[in-house]
Structures are given as structure tokens and as C-alpha cells.
Amino acid sequence: MSDLNDIVEQIDLLAPIPAIATQILAKSEDPDSSMSEIADLIVNDPALTANLLKICNSAYFALPRKLESVKDAVTWIGLDQIVELVLTSSVSENFKKGLVGYGLGEGELWRHAVTSAHVAKLLANRCGVSQNKHLIYTAALLKDIGKLILGRFVAFSAEKINILVHSQGYSFNDAEKTIIGMNHEELGALVGEKWSFSKKLIYIIRHHHLADESARQNRETSLVYLADIVCMLMGICTGTDGLSYRFYSDVLRRINVSEKDLEEIIAQTSENRQKIEYLLKLF
């Protein structure tokens, strides 16, 4: 078993999310905050504004005219999507690295994260979610942040972990916990605490594989879990652990998502693959 203190200390080696992104995330999760408050935060950060306008004026959106201000961007694209772009841009640096322990090459975890967030958004819309949509999107984007640190420890213990998974029927996160002493969900939650994420966001990251029965009762966590499952079914950068997690079919019933819904979301995501790939290159 690894020295857990050594693992936790590695959090400080990650590039922290900019304070402005944390503020925007907090505002987006606060039902008492107005959209104008979020827009004001963006406007008052010149670097963020410049980067946002570069993305909005790219071929990804193919707008009929060049946008020159955040107000323009909000008018043409909508503040919901502006917030998603800001948050996605703010976490890209960490996620682009390869992770040998999980069998992921450079950029693959990032592709999986962005696609998961895209799928989670589709699922939330399909379920008629009106609140916490930014929370669901961000949680899907960040759910595997613990892998950024745990990857090298998994690589070192790969043989022992694989024995538990393939010979004894363990899920991959249970095998991580048994061999290393901590799994990527737990470590991801610690990153969230270190970076002052909301309790709701930390909870989803900590339970996104739904091993805890109580997490299956939580709609936001279940949607993020299903987004991950959809990416696995589509074979999107699954890595060595991708097919080694539990599938809880009762979750579909609890959040009123049918198998047909999943099929349609898979089809829609497939249609959007080229656009998602283009978006990845912008960050």
C-alpha cells in the first residue's frame, strides 16, 4: 500500500484552477445569483475576456459577424454556454497530459472529460433539469481529476490491481482502494476541497461511480455517472479501466431515462464528434 500522505501532497503539483473560474462556478451554482453578476465577473477579467472572444469568433460557432464584447457573446451564444466555455478553458491545462497507469495517451483524458460534459448536458436536458445544469456539466468535466495524480501509483501497482479486477471480480476503483489505499474518486474529492469547490461538486466527484447506494438516489451524481457510461459504451478514450466498473441499471428508472433515450444521446454525440474535436483544439 502506498504512502497516502505522499499521494495527497501531489495535489500541489497540479495547475490550480484560476480564482475567477472558481468565482464563476460558485455564482452559477448559487440560485440567488443573477446572470448579470456572472457576466460582470467575466468582463472584469481582460485575459479571460480575450480568450473567450477568440473561441466565440472561431469557426466552431461560425457566427455571421465578429463579436467584440462579452455582451455580444452573451447575446449571440447565451450565458449558459459562455459559462461552460470559461470553465472548460480553465481546467484544460491539467487534463491534456498522458496517463500511463490508465493507458491513456496525451490528450485522451481531456477528450473523455469534454465529451462526458457534453453528454451530461444532453442527459440533463433530456431529463428536464432546470437547476444545477452548470454543476452537472462541470462535475462531468472534472470527475476524473484524481486520475491526474493517481496515475503513476496505478502504473506501479498495475499487476496487483489487474489481478483483483480480472481474477476476483473487483471494480477498478475498489481495486485501487485495496492496493493503493485510495481510489481516484477519493483523491478527486480531496483536490476539490483543496481548490474550494462547493460541497455538491465535491460529492459528485467523490461518488461518480455510484458505489455508495445513497449516491444512486442523487440525480446530479447519477447523470454524471450515466455520462461516463455513455462514453465507455462509445469507446471514447476508456483506457485500461474503462470497462471495469459496475453498471447500475436501476439508475435509469430512478431518473426516468430509457434505453431509447441513451441510444438517441449516443447517436447525437456521434453526430457531434467532429464539432467536439474542433472544440478540443481551441483550448
**Which one-letter DSSP state was computed for residue 248?**
-
Q: Which of 32, 247, 222, 231 minimizes the C-alpha distance to 114?
A: 231
pLDDT tens digits, the chain, 283 residues: what are they? 668 988 999 999 998 888 888 888 888 888 887 777 888 888 888 888 888 899 899 888 889 999 998 888 888 988 788 888 888 888 888 898 889 899 999 999 999 999 999 999 999 999 988 788 889 999 999 999 999 999 999 999 999 999 999 999 999 999 999 999 999 999 999 999 999 999 999 999 999 999 998 999 999 999 999 999 999 989 887 888 877 888 888 899 898 888 899 899 999 999 988 888 888 888 8
Grid cell 481495486 in the structure block, residue = 175
| Cross-strand pairs, 104 | 99
The full length of the chain comes to: 283
Long-range CB contact pairs, 67-73, < 8 A, 24+: 69/43, 70/39, 70/42, 70/43, 71/39
Please give the domain boundaries of the chain with CATH numbers for all domains: 4-282 (1.10.3210.10)
Nearest-angstrom CA–CA distance, 136 and 142: 10
**CB neighbours of residue 281 within 10 Å:** 9
pLDDT score at 1: 63
Nearest-angstrom CA–CA distance, 44 and 9: 33
Q: Is 150:101 a contact under the CB 8 Å cutoff?
A: yes
Q: Is 174:183 a contact under the CB 8 Å cutoff?
A: yes
pLDDT score at 151: 93
**pTM of the predicted model over 0.95:** no
Grid cell 496517463 in the structure block, residue = 99
Cα-Cα-Cα-Cα torsion 74, 78, 83, 84, nearest 10 degrees, comes to -140
Q: Is 244:228 a contact under the CB 8 Å cutoff?
A: no
Nearest-angstrom CA–CA distance, 50 and 1: 46
pLDDT score at 168: 94
pLDDT score at 32: 81
